[in-house]
Structure 1
């Protein structure tokens, strides 16, 4: 892709890598990846919007091409919010649209609750805004799997053997139904999963999607969602870990919001339905810029 700029930004705890794709005339779109401990996707289809507007990705500290310090005191929501502010300031973003995916929606809401200026709209993609509900929803999904898969996952978590081949096989079956339904998975997604920083993920979340034991265990943004005073779009896949029921519920708590389901996706519509995903985001941000008084 032409017009790509990359670099590093000093933040609390180290340096984070960023990439700006495109230089279209629209208001920039800033993307917060999932995880925690995951990274930006190099083939994110949203980069196609670069002809319309700059599309900005950055790898959060501890992940991807960014520094990977081992100090666990850095893995707090507050520090990630501070990091986001430092990225916005360094890049001189006076106005931007914000898109968070999965854990990135926790980061986005926490940032917005501080009432920063300049955010024109927010997109919550596969939102994880209540950790306890997320855990319950995954356990409900798990009940739909064969007994042997349920038993393997339960036993491995109980006995602390979540690094076994048997456990990984059981998790693969789960992920192929509720994380990404493309079969086989694209090589990049396989590599990204392998590159997950387990120290960050385990410290903040836990051993798996089913059991929240980390610092996010009691994260729940629902009571404060009505405070979000900017246009908000909530999206999820029909088979998403972020269930349509949960996502629609969150959308109902935000005054100026819309809700959209990608019918052929689970948690990765950017991989599963890239054209539909790009068009939904494109239409949303374009419409926000055309709003009267915007």
Structure 2
């Protein structure tokens, strides 16, 4: 079997560059699967395994959102520069520059899932399907549930975390060690973490500009500009087949995920029982089975569902 072709490069965006990787050949009959990573401020690396779908005939597009990875870094940008609309515009630009805006499926993980949902709510003509993985529908729900999960940590861990948060010493070694207890339960339960996840983590650690501005110092202490952001109001407007994924031990708890199932017409929600926030790494066989079946169903259905315009 001939190797699957891979192309890498950058596209211009507002005077900067967005890095991308395309595995497979778009325009050969199946929509491109466009992968939106989390963070904000992470990189594509931890989701690189989705490139395997190119061997099944789905061209797969990975990219690094502006500010991290292979895309332009802007450590001195004004905090007000980093807003969701920036990344929505970047996604639109990428789709158009790669020539796939008329036939694509979005896979968004964590923050990328919220971004994908917001994009889908505008009903772009070329969108064929949507996968929202391990994402909360709002950061207010997320923060509320973080308190629930933190209260379940081993004795003393949350007290240590809160002491450093109150003192502004979240860069201390003691805080980091306590933080890793939470991550080991609710971000990825594999020990040690897989190489691809560590690659993204180290990229964010090396340049935390976007993550710290929009999110905060970590997953459960969200004090950045996204702390009140939500996509709940726009969910009923989504009109493409939608798969929602989460892990039983996910930091994106059922309370944070449920609005996707309840408000997106026809959405199907699958919980992977042996996973937390990284089921594509923690439970890959089941993950690829579920996602593969969804992609096949979208391909079989062809064109998007017809809806009444203006709704």
Output the TM-score relative to the length of structure 1. Answer: 0.95
Q: Do the aligned partners of 2:122 and 2:238 also contact (CA within 8 Å) in 1?
A: no
Q: Conserved in 2, the CA contact under 8 Å of 1:44 and 1:270? A: no
**In the TM superposition, what is the alpha-carbon distance from 1:215 to its structure 2 partner?**
1.5
Show the counterpart of 2:277: 267
Q: Secondary structure at the match of 2:156?
A: helix
The equivalent residue for 2:198 is 190
Structure 1 segments (4+ residues) deviating >6 Å? none
Name the CA distance, whole Å, in 1 between partners of 2:302 and 2:280.
30
Give the conservation status (yes or no) of the 8 Å contact 1:12–1:79: no
* Residues paired across the two proteins, number: 294
For residue 99 of structure 2, what is the aligned residue in structure 1? 92
Q: 1:69 pairs with 54, 71, 74, which one?
A: 74
Question: Paired residue for 2:223?
Answer: 213
Distance 1:198 1:234 in 2: 28
Q: Deviations over 1:157-212 (max 9, x none)?
A: 11111111111101111101000011111233223212103111111112222232
Structure 1 CA distance for aligned equivalents of residues 59 and 302 of structure 2: 23
Runs of 5+ consecutive residues of structure 2 not aligned to the other structure? 305-311
- Distance in structure 1 (CA, Å) of the matches to 2:163 and 2:12: 43
The question of whether the paired residues in 1 share the 8 Å contact of 2:31 and 2:105 is answered with: yes
- For the pair 1:81 / 2:85, whether they are aligned, the reply is no
The answer on 1:59 being equivalent to 2:67 is no
The CA deviation string for residues 258-278 of structure 1, in whole angstroms up to 9 with x for no partner, is 010111100001111122212
- Aligned-residue offset at 1:42: 6.1
8 Å CA contact 2:45, 2:199 repeated in 1: no
TM-score, structure 2 normalization: 0.90
2:274–2:282 CA contact under 8 A, matched in 1: yes
1:253-292 → structure 2 map (5 Å cutoff): 253-291=263-301
Is contact 1:14-1:69 (8 Å) kept?
A: no
RMSD: 1.6
Q: Deviations over 1:97-131 (max 9, x none)?
A: 00100000121122223332200010000012200
Equivalent residue number for residue 6 of structure 2: 4
* Superposition map of 1:139-288 within 5 A: 139-196=147-204, 197-288=207-298
Asked if the contact 1:237/1:244 (under 8 Å) is kept, the reply is no
